[in-house]
């Protein structure tokens, strides 16, 4: 039965690929990758690099075939936290990049929580940092609503979400929402397409908070969901009926999961949990909501001597049918892999490989997921990636 279901999902995936739009109109043609040079993986352990080169962000043009790196500039970034440390304005005029960690003053071998959020103008050549605002300690996942007038930042080291109003390319602090205690670990915050609700993963206490939004006013809705062990990455699939969350577990070799949240239910609730492999770090919905891609480290971040080690991570693709996910394809990727992003037509998938310091490019076609062989080389380890909301 599993083979039959897998084949059916693959056929559905192929049908989606065949009918995906190819017009150059719309948005989502720029992907921004945040790249960390402060940390590397040494025999399965995250190690701080003394005298490291500056972190960077890379701008990738998804209109080109193959996708093309158009600029890479110095911007503070961090691999700590989910790979959603980037948000792009709906009109692609600017991007926000958080920096969850920084080098400790006087101790180059240690990192401490950072609160910086950089504002990058994407309309200039090259892009340039035009401002820096302060969120909270351990600023990690960040999102901008589709109206382009509100940004939310999850602060992992202080148990809060920072609120910013947006006018043009200027961010103004508008308060914080406290969620649990300082150890609750808010990791990512995602906003529904209608702008009325946000979900916040909390990997410190394994909960997901629901926030209520009215205009630019944001409050705790006092609704907590329980998906899996350490919910981390999160995305909301168009048109907004479901959200998907990656539960990264505790990294002791167990197979970890993703969960589906029904956003139409009153109140929202978890309706399904699926095993995907060790440490699902990145998760993203395709722009049309018909697919979900998951980046699972699958043991590729462990020491080679570990019984749970695997040479490569995996990208796993699911077809979406209503509120049901069916596994449709998977492929090997690099090591300590992080985020994933789709092109606007959903046919191209970018996967970040932290160890290789590259972005791996896949194509989706009638025969499933194909590694194109293209690698976009970067100056730092890619740690977070997003496109504009559509």
Going by C-alpha positions, the residue among 235, 322, 324 that lies closest to residue 285 is 235
- Measure the CA dihedral 340/343/349/355, to 10°: -50
User: Can you give the length of the chain in residues?
Assistant: 390
Res 368: pLDDT: 84
Distances (CA, A) of 38 to 24, 106, 278, 306, 381: 37, 15, 24, 25, 9
pTM (two decimals): 0.93
Question: Among all chains, which residue has been given the structure tokens 């043991």?
Answer: 299
Place 13 in a pLDDT band, splitting at 50, 70 and 90: low
Q: How far is CA 388 from the centre of its chain?
A: 12
β 197-202/207-214 pair status: antiparallel
Has residue 122 got a pLDDT over 90? yes
pLDDT in tens, 182-213: 999 999 999 999 999 999 999 999 999 999 99
Has residue 18 got a pLDDT over 60? no
pLDDT in tens, 245-301: 999 999 999 999 999 999 999 999 999 999 999 999 999 999 999 999 999 999 999
Res 28: pLDDT: 78
Place 123 in a pLDDT band, splitting at 50, 70 and 90: very high
DSSP β-bridge partners for residue 42 = 45
Has residue 365 got a pLDDT over 50? yes
């Amino acid at each position: 039965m599993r083979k039959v279901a897998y084949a059916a999902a693959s056929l559905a995936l192929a049908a989606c690929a065949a009918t995906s739009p190819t017009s150059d109109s719309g948005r989502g043609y720029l992907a921004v990758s945040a790249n960390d040079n402060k940390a590397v993986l040494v025999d399965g352990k995250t190690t701080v690099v003394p005298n490291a080169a500056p972190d960077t962000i890379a701008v990738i043009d998804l209109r080109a075939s193959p996708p093309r790196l158009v600029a890479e500039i110095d911007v503070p970034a961090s691999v700590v936290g989910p790979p959603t440390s980037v948000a792009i304005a709906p009109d692609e005029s600017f991007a926000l990049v958080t920096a969850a960690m920084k080098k400790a003053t006087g101790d180059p071998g240690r990192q401490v929580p950072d609160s910086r959020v950089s504002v990058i103008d994407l309309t200039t050549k090259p892009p340039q940092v035009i401002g820096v605002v302060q969120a909270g300690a351990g600023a990690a996942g960040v999102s901008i609503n589709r109206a382009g007038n509100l940004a939310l930042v999850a602060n992992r080291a202080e148990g809060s979400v920072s609120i910013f109003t947006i006018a043009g390319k200027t961010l103004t602090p508008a308060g914080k929402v406290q969620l649990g205690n300082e150890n609750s670990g808010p990791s990512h915050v995602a906003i529904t397409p209608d702008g009325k609700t946000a979900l916040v993963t909390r990997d410190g206490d394994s909960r997901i908070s629901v926030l209520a939004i009215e205009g630019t006013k944001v409050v705790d809705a006092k609704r907590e969901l329980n998906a899996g062990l350490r919910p981390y990455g999160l995305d909301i699939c168009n048109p907004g009926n479901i959200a998907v969350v990656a539960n990264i577990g505790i990294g002791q070799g167990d197979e970890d999961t993703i969960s589906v949240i029904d956003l139409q239910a009153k109140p929202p609730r978890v309706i399904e949990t699926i095993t995907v492999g060790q440490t699902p770090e990145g998760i993203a919905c395709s722009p049309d909501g018909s697919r979900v891609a998951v980046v699972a480290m699958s043991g590729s971040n462990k020491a080679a001597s570990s019984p749970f080690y695997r040479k490569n991570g995996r990208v796993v693709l699911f077809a979406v049918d209503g509120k049901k996910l069916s596994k449709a394809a998977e492929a090997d990727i690099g090591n300590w892999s992080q985020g994933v992003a789709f092109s606007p037509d959903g046919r191209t998938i970018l996967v970040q490989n932290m160890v290789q310091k590259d972005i791996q490019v896949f194509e989706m076609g009638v025969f499933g997921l194909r590694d194109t062989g293209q690698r976009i080389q970067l100056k730092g380890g890619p740690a977070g990636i997003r496109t504009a909301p559509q």
